[in-house]
Amino acid sequence: MTTTKRTILALAIAIVPAAAFATHVPGSSEKVQYDGPLSPTAGVKGSIGWKDPLDGYDWYCMDVIKGKKVTIGAKRTAGDIKMNIGVLKGLVANDGDPRGSLPVVGETSNSTDPDAVFTFTPDFDGAATVWISTWLGENGGNYTVTMSGANARAACGAVTAPPAPPPSSIQVGVPDNPVLINSGDTITVPVQVATSSFAGDISLSVEGLPDDATAKFDKSFFPSPGNGTTNLTITPGPRTLPGTYFITVVATSGDTSGATTFQFVLDCSPPMILGVDQPKSASVNRGTTANLQVKSAGTGPISGANKQTLTTPTINDTGSFWVRVSNACGSTDSQAATVSVR
């Protein structure tokens, strides 16, 4: 009698809840509660998860420049989370409103990595909403998010121009389009003043300038009847942060005034030092000096940029030298150059 042994193979099928693979793109009913603006000068720390009191979305904002590449990175620092990043065009009208119809610019497509990077080139100017998310079911963790290529906003939430002033017998005219400049540059805006059913001396002033910026009119006083044209020059200072501002030009004559507002966008790129522009190591005779050169790039003003050459003190022993270059958007350190004694 022949006995046949049969081996039964048991197949283990893991059933994973569908929720664990839910998309990271927020639905139209998802409420946007901003955690604050992103800045190219420093990373922002956050906590995220799907266990109370945390939730699965964190929200940030920034201002983008059409055609300028933006890179956003999210790095897990603690916990069991997998980072995902996405961008919406625009902002919700009020903090806490649903996402609604804000269009998706792009996202990292359900990344399963603890860190994520999303890079895109916007086809629009202005505000954008950034979301950071993690997989459903993950208890929570901490992360740091960084951004480059866009500008920080003073606050999240839809930016609107100040309300239009009531009709006045003094009219002030400025360009309709937003004024865009790089940090370190100056901009000249034409201003026209006209009066109707009114005659009097007109004085001009400016409101809404960002910190450390200055404004100067070529001509700020128009004698009666008060009609004329002038130029307004705006100069950002070294501590003027990039962002979107609303500048108001006010024309005053006694108790009568007229005003108009234009949008002023200050762009800024952190400094950088290309490899070919790093300081070079050198060898000198004992008791002499060395000349080291470094060349920086980025939007100015750049601290110390008026001196690209450093003459060292007298060299008697081998030593290292490096330079830190900074502007309103951040700073970078050069490589160290070694000066040896021969």
> Can you spell out the DSSP letters for 185-201?
--EEEEEEEEESS----
Q: Residues 270-275: what's their mean pLDDT?
A: 66
Distance of CA 60 to the CA centre of its chain: 11
If you classify domain 275-341 with CATH, what class do you get? mainly beta
Domain at 170-267: CATH code: 2.60.40.10
In which region does residue 59 sit, left (phi positive, over 0), alpha (psi from -120 to 50) or beta (all else)? Answer: beta
Per-position b or e across 122-149, b if 16+ CB within 10 A of its CB: beebbbbbbbbbbbbbbebbebebbbbb
Confidence at residue 2, expressed as pLDDT on a 0 to 100 scale: 45
**What counts of helices (H) and strands (E) characterise the chain?**
0, 25
pLDDT interval class at 269 (50, 70, 90): low
Q: Residues 97-113: what's their mean pLDDT?
A: 83
Other C-beta atoms closer than 10 Å to the C-beta of 62 total 24
Confirm if 134 and 17 have CB atoms less than 8 A apart: no
Q: Single out the residue of 209, 253, 202 nearest to residue 230, CA to CA.
A: 202
Q: Residues 151-179: what's their mean pLDDT?
A: 71
Instruction: For residue 340, report the phi and psi dihedrals to the nearest 5 degrees.
Output: -105, 160
Confidence at residue 165, expressed as pLDDT on a 0 to 100 scale: 55
Strand-pair partners of 76: 143
* DSSP code for 122: -
pLDDT interval class at 303 (50, 70, 90): very low
Which of the residue ranges 69-83, 213-227, 306-320 would you say has the lowest mean pLDDT? 306-320
Query: What distance in Å separates the CA atoms of residue 44 and residue 41, rounded to the nearest whole number?
Result: 10
Q: What is the pLDDT of residues 40-68, one digit of tens each?
A: 877 888 888 776 545 678 899 999 988 89
Confidence at residue 128, expressed as pLDDT on a 0 to 100 scale: 92
Confirm if 49 and 81 have CB atoms less than 8 A apart: yes
Which of the residue ranges 55-59, 80-84, 178-182, 235-239 would you say has the lowest mean pLDDT? 178-182
Mean pLDDT of the chain: 78
Looking at per-residue confidence, does 26 or 63 come out higher? 63
SS3 string, 137-173, reads: CCCCEEEEEEEECCECCCCCCCCCCCCCCCCCCEEEE
Confidence at residue 304, expressed as pLDDT on a 0 to 100 scale: 41
Query: What distance in Å separates the CA atoms of residue 50 and residue 219, rounded to the nearest whole number?
Result: 60
Query: What distance in Å separates the CA atoms of residue 145 and residue 127, rounded to the nearest whole number?
Result: 18
Which of the residue ranges 15-29, 193-207, 224-238, 302-316 would you say has the lowest mean pLDDT? 15-29
- Domain 22-148, CATH 2.60.120.380 — does that match? yes
Check whether 149 has a pLDDT greater than 60.
Answer: yes
Q: Identical fold at 170-267 and 275-341?
A: yes
Q: Which two tokens stand for residue 307?
A: 């001196």
Check whether 33 has a pLDDT greater than 60.
Answer: yes
The whole model's pTM is what?
0.48
Confidence at residue 161, expressed as pLDDT on a 0 to 100 scale: 53
Check whether 163 has a pLDDT greater than 80.
Answer: no
Looking at per-residue confidence, does 32 or 175 come out higher? 32
Confidence at residue 145, expressed as pLDDT on a 0 to 100 scale: 92
- Collapsing DSSP to helix, strand or coil, 275 comes out as helix
Query: What distance in Å separates the CA atoms of residue 97 and residue 116, rounded to the nearest whole number?
Result: 27
Confirm if 183 and 242 have CB atoms less than 8 A apart: yes
Check whether 17 has a pLDDT greater than 60.
Answer: no
Where in the chain are the domains? Answer: 22-148, 170-267, 275-341
Check whether 203 has a pLDDT greater than 50.
Answer: yes
Among 24-28, 231-235, 237-241, 267-271, name the most confident range.
231-235
Which residues fall within 8 angstroms of residue 194, CB to CB, at 6 or more apart? 170, 171, 173, 227
Query: What distance in Å separates the CA atoms of residue 220 and residue 223, rounded to the nearest whole number?
Result: 10
Confidence at residue 5, expressed as pLDDT on a 0 to 100 scale: 42
pLDDT interval class at 322 (50, 70, 90): confident
Confidence at residue 205, expressed as pLDDT on a 0 to 100 scale: 94
Q: What is the pLDDT of residues 74-97, one digit of tens each?
A: 998 888 788 889 999 988 888 788
Q: Single out the residue of 106, 107, 126 nearest to residue 62, CA to CA.
A: 126
Query: What distance in Å separates the CA atoms of residue 238 and residue 199, rounded to the nearest whole number?
Result: 41
